[in-house]
Amino acid sequence: LPMVSWLTYEILRLPRYSLGVYDPVDIHGKGMLRIYLRNCMIYLGFYFIMFFITLY
């Protein structure tokens, strides 16, 4: 549930003209690649932790 609420927050704070959260033009145009990469690593870490918790 925390990741779903965070993704919803990210989608709702996007400007109307944007194509999506990870718009390729936006990533390279504004230098946002580091922020998007950090967010992806956080999501990946969260899902890895949840995966290993469910295995336990």
Q: Is residue 20 in some structural domain?
A: no
Report the helix count and the strand count for the chain, using DSSP H and E.
3, 0
- Band (31; pLDDT cuts 50, 70, 90): low
Q: Is residue 11 in some structural domain?
A: no
Q: Tell me how many domains the chain contains.
A: 1
Q: Dump pLDDT digits (tens) for 4-26.
A: 887 788 777 777 777 666 666 66
Q: Is residue 33 in some structural domain?
A: yes
Q: Is residue 18 in some structural domain?
A: no
Which tokens hold the place of 11?
């989608």
Q: Is residue 38 in some structural domain?
A: yes
Q: Is residue 29 in some structural domain?
A: yes
pTM of the model: 0.61
- Name the residue range of residue 36's domain: 25-56
Q: Is residue 8 in some structural domain?
A: no
